[in-house]
Structure 1
């Protein structure tokens, strides 16, 4: 009996901020010597197994009890794994924006970016349209996308919106969530502290979003979580354009707010909770 051969995986280039990695397809190899069940036999022959465990269809008319009948094993079911190139491009573009690799006011065409990523222009255009809806870039007809420029007023307005969304939500959580739940968020707060200690602004921005999103998810309000995260992203992009690159000491102070907030929530100290949330933006 011929043994099935595994399909070799597709090798991908090493990932980078502007070159997302597309993983290879899963192997379809079937382990050698694996036996088929009675249901497999019935499905392959169209007949239920007989007393000897072999289908009693026309192909096995001469089979008797105890006789070995050899058949080719049926291929295993393969669950396809789908990877979104658009999602990877979107993540890489967001990272490039936060890192300042895409300069404010500059126009970038989808074909040029697609060449840098090693993909077709379509997922780049789709990702850029998403960034345009978030206010990070602007569409320039027949040219591409311009990285948006923001003012201090933009940053102040976004900070006000975040406060209006998050302060009441977190205060309600402080009154209703069992205090032991706050310990579950401590590893996320520590992630922000570690990124801040390294002075890694991009990693800090991601860890900061994860902490705030997980905190607000405790409200059970999916729309609130989605809107708050959108405003959070806009604020981060605005900060990159307006404020100077934060120093490590600034990041550490902001990260320390997360740990202090968890302590205030555990103590159910509502004035401290409100002060820390309002002063965080």
Structure 2
């Protein structure tokens, strides 16, 4: 299932594109049963939809869909960041761990390596939720992130925007160390600036 999910979220299978169980099974060299199970799971995650007598289609998201996803993401991630800070406030070890991730983000931004930059960006967000010990919230955030990937935004940031995003993650890490009264605000500011970057690089007009 991970291989099929990657093909969808990486853009190899594009929004609106049709495919069949047979095509995927042949491409991956496996039987149709695990492919069918994977498709059912991806339908549940909202990444594909089954169309009777036609096939499987990679889901297309409207601007309204994306607006809703970001509103839910903001609520969950701000809450998770505040909860993380309650545990991590004044904890130098956690601060060093998060700083190590932002250092990697800076390194790959300097190299203009978008793939590894995004890998560490996502790692940072997941680590915040892990520290907060919110496993259910993490699974929802991961699903939201996979759906946002279908917009193509994650393939479009410029090098300067990668540096901007890195600065925002540094601010989040500092806020987490300082306390909940700073942490959630830093995360919200980052997510709002992410929306601005999406609007700039796509045809969306999110709020």
Tell me which interval the TM-score lies in, with the shorter structure as reference length.
0.7 to 0.9
**Higher relative CO (CA 8 A, sep ≥ 6), structure 1 or 2?**
2
Task: Name 1:151's counterpart in structure 2.
Answer: 62
Secondary structure of 1:279's counterpart equals helix
Task: Name 1:262's counterpart in structure 2.
Answer: 173
Query: Aligned in 2, Cα 1:144/1:197: closer, same or farther, shift over 3 Å?
Result: farther
Task: Name 2:81's counterpart in structure 1.
Answer: 170
How far off is 1:143 after superposition? 3.5
Question: 2:117 matched to 1:207?
Answer: no
> 2: CA distance between counterparts of 1:253 and 1:275?
17
Q: Which of 106, 114, 117 does residue 28 from structure 2 map onto?
A: 117
Alignment of 1:234-273 (within 5 A): 234-237=147-150, 239-240=151-152, 245-268=156-179, 270-271=181-182, 273=183
Is contact 1:205-1:236 (8 Å) kept? no
Question: 2:18 matched to 1:107?
Answer: yes
Is contact 1:99-1:201 (8 Å) kept? no
Gaps of 5+ in 2: 192-207
Query: Aligned in 2, Cα 1:197/1:222: closer, same or farther, shift over 3 Å?
Result: same
Query: Aligned in 2, Cα 1:190/1:114: closer, same or farther, shift over 3 Å?
Result: farther
Across the two proteins, how many residue pairs are aligned to each other? 189
> 1: CA distance between counterparts of 2:117 and 2:60?
22
Question: 2:186 matched to 1:276?
Answer: yes
Query: Aligned in 2, Cα 1:194/1:243: closer, same or farther, shift over 3 Å?
Result: closer
How far off is 1:203 after superposition? 4.0
Query: Aligned in 2, Cα 1:104/1:224: closer, same or farther, shift over 3 Å?
Result: closer
Task: Name 1:140's counterpart in structure 2.
Answer: 51
TM-score, structure 2 length as denominator? 0.77
Task: Name 2:196's counterpart in structure 1.
Answer: none
TM-score, structure 1 length as denominator? 0.59
Question: 2:81 matched to 1:184?
Answer: no
Aligned residues: CA RMSD: 2.5
> 1: CA distance between counterparts of 2:129 and 2:147?
17
- Per mean C-alpha deviation after superposition, the further-off stretch among 256-265 and 144-153 is 256-265
Query: Aligned in 2, Cα 1:121/1:249: closer, same or farther, shift over 3 Å?
Result: farther
Please state which structure has a larger fraction of its residues in helix.
2
Query: Aligned in 2, Cα 1:152/1:116: closer, same or farther, shift over 3 Å?
Result: same
Secondary structure of 1:159's counterpart equals helix
> 1: CA distance between counterparts of 2:29 and 2:109?
32
Gaps of 5+ in 1: 1-89
